[in-house]
Amino acid sequence: MFQKDLISIHDLTGADVATLFTLAAGMKARPRDFRSALSGKILAMIFEKSSTRTRVSFEAGMTQLGGAAQFLSSRDIQIGRGEPIADTARVLSRYVDGIMARTFAHDTVLELARHATIPVINGLTDLLHPCQALTDYFTMSEKFGKLTGFKLAYVGDGNNMAHSLMYGGPKCGVDVAVATPKGYEPDATVTANAHADATAAGTTLLVTHSKEEAVRGAHVIYTDVWASMGQEAEQQKRVRDFAGWTVTSELLALAHPDAVFMHCLPAHRGEEVAAEVCDGPRSVIFDEAENRLHVQKAILATLMDRP
């Protein structure tokens, strides 16, 4: 059973994820059956970081479920101008039925969840991106028909995307390999938690500095931008540090013959991924983008359709 909030995939069970995916598949196949699932419900969407996919998918999802969404940038509300996060959580709990927050500091989302009496969804923090990772595993299950026994390889910065994929693997029965340049490894606490989850689930987690080792035999090759939002000042240094880490056709050739390429977008062709891979026949990046809508609708309905 889901908790009140969705902050991290680490908090979920494998059964939670499987139930969520079943609901998402039903919503994707039969959207009209769910048109009133959240009738009269309102989602407050707090954005410290801008986003195409997060804003549009959550707003469209609430509308398709019969509810409404309110966009709240840090310029629109007092949370960005000195009001305690706890007060914002308490006030919004009196007005709306759920909060989705896309923030820089992970503590912001934790604080919102701690003081809100309504569900809080982590739309992205600098530490985690659970909605995207759940979408990625859902997309993987669509492509291969199942998840157990498959392998996902992540190549690039050990960032929030890598963290959530590491947490998601054990919940889905997927082996995960993460390859980063030296100095860009995943967070040590997340790695320890993910290793423990993998051991409990009977899956494997590899963290390495060899992209070839990570990719060999993988069914999904995943990458992300080298400099995430808020790291623009590091762009040139990261371009130098990540030289040779582009996902190319040659790297893809080391993967399983049926392997697909994934990216959470936006993609910088010629940096973290070659254009022929990003736009090639094995790329499923736009299927992922679409599935954000369906998976997030399932999350919204699961958390907000409660007394």
Catalytic residue annotation = 102, 129, 132, 224, 264, 292
Residue type at 262? M
CB burial readout 101-110, b (16+ within 10 A) else e: bbbeebebbb
Residue type at 94? R
